[in-house]
A = this chain, B = another copy of it.
Amino acid sequence: VTLPVLGLAEIRAVVTPRLIRDAVRDALIAHAEGRTQVPPPMHLDFPDARGDCHVKAGHVLGSPHFTVKVASGFYRNPSRGLASNNGVLLVLDATTGLPVAVLADEGWLTAWRTAAAGALITDALTPPEVREVGVLGTGLQARLQVEWLHALRPLAQVRIWGRHPEAAESLSAELRRAGIDAHAGSLAQAAGAPCVITATAATTALADASAFHSAVHVTAVGADMPGKNELPVALFGAAAVIATDDHVQCLDHGDFGNAVRAGATTADADTSVGAVLRDGVGRSGLSIADLTGIGAADAAVASAVLSAVP
């Protein structure tokens, strides 16, 4: 009757970026090919605690496991000495429905799979010679997006902008210690890079479309629930390629959906991230990747972790 609980230390001991990246890549491609089951996420709000929570379930067809994941963000936690974000992932057997394990990953698997998805699609949609990246955001996900992309293509110049300049300085210093040429910069400098990554909890566009004047590719990972918005809708009107990790989710609560509702693009203008990862895409102007996070990636990552545990 004992359901094993793997804590973060045990998970960290077996997880490698390659393990996560391969699992996420496979899941995104499976999702693009209709070989996944991903019900619409559930959201709960805790306004008194400045908290929100979403629940995502997923199954890659043919996989032995499916997962139900709870991810929370409670923004008063830091004042209690706790991390804002947390999470638990429940792994179940897809043949019997029995619970197999609990991954008490404190939200790290979500952070890593988001980093993996972002790095994979940014790398796939950014011309190989581009090494300059602008980053809007200074949190954990901003750091991971840079680090995981750097692992795929060494970056030459990273400009970090955040609402709090000291946070941008601090993240830049941290990245430099990791051997990445990163410096804090203005919003104009960061958004003006040829490759831009947004990883914020913004609820209105971070900059006008004109600020992205030199962009060949933009990846947005922050819009994970209704009400969030990072990119200006006009940018979607200018894009030659719009890649979404899940068409329905991105329409519902991604930046793509914001742009469609504003009439800047059409609901059928997107292609799937998985198809881009599988087939590549002929370059012709600006590309945008809108990531909302899919349950099938959680399921694939959980299976990979379980298969790696001794």
Whether the pair B55, A57 counts as a contact (CB closer than 8 A) is yes
A284 interface residue per 8 A CB criterion: no
Oligomer: number of copies: 2
Does A37 sit within 8 A of B, measured CB to CB?
Answer: yes
> In the complex, which residues of chain B have a beta carbon less than 8 angstroms from the beta carbon of A82?
96, 98
Are A46's CB and B5's CB within 8 A? no
- Chain A residues numbered 1-16 whose CB sits less than 8 Å from any CB in chain B: 1-3, 5, 7-9
Known contacts A1-B8, A39-B44; decide if A88 and B99 are in contact (CB<8 Å). yes
Let me know if B70 and A42 touch, CB within 8 A: no
In the bound complex, CA of A230 to CA of B10 (Å):
47
Q: Mark A63-102, 1 if CB is under 8 A from B, else 0.
A: 0001010101110010010100010101010111111001
Q: A86, B104: Cβ atoms under 8 Å?
A: no
A45 proximity list for chain B (CB < 8 A): 37
How long is the Cα–Cα vector from A46 to B51 in the complex, in angstroms?
A: 33
Contact B94 A68 (CB under 8 A): no
Interchain CB contact under 8 A, B96 and A74: yes
- Give the nearest-CB partner of A107 in chain B: B97
A102 and chain B: residue at smallest CB distance: B102
A39 cross-chain contacts in B, Cβ below 8 A: 42-44, 55
* Prevailing SS type, chain A contact patch: strand
CA distance A42 to B88 in the complex (A): 17
A73 to B9, CA, bound (A): 33
User: In the complex, are the beta carbons of B74 and A53 less than 8 A apart?
Assistant: no
Given A42-B39, A102-B3, do A95 and B59 touch, yes or no (CB 8 Å)? no
Contact A86 B77, beta carbon cutoff 8 Å:
no
Q: Across the interface, do A3 and B5 meet the contact criterion of CB distance under 8 Å?
A: yes
Q: Is A156 an interface residue (CB 8 A)?
A: no
> A-side interface residues toward B, CB under 8 Å?
1-3, 5, 7-9, 37, 39-46, 49, 51, 53, 55, 57, 59, 66, 68, 70, 72-74, 77, 80, 82, 86, 88, 90, 92, 94-99, 102, 104, 106
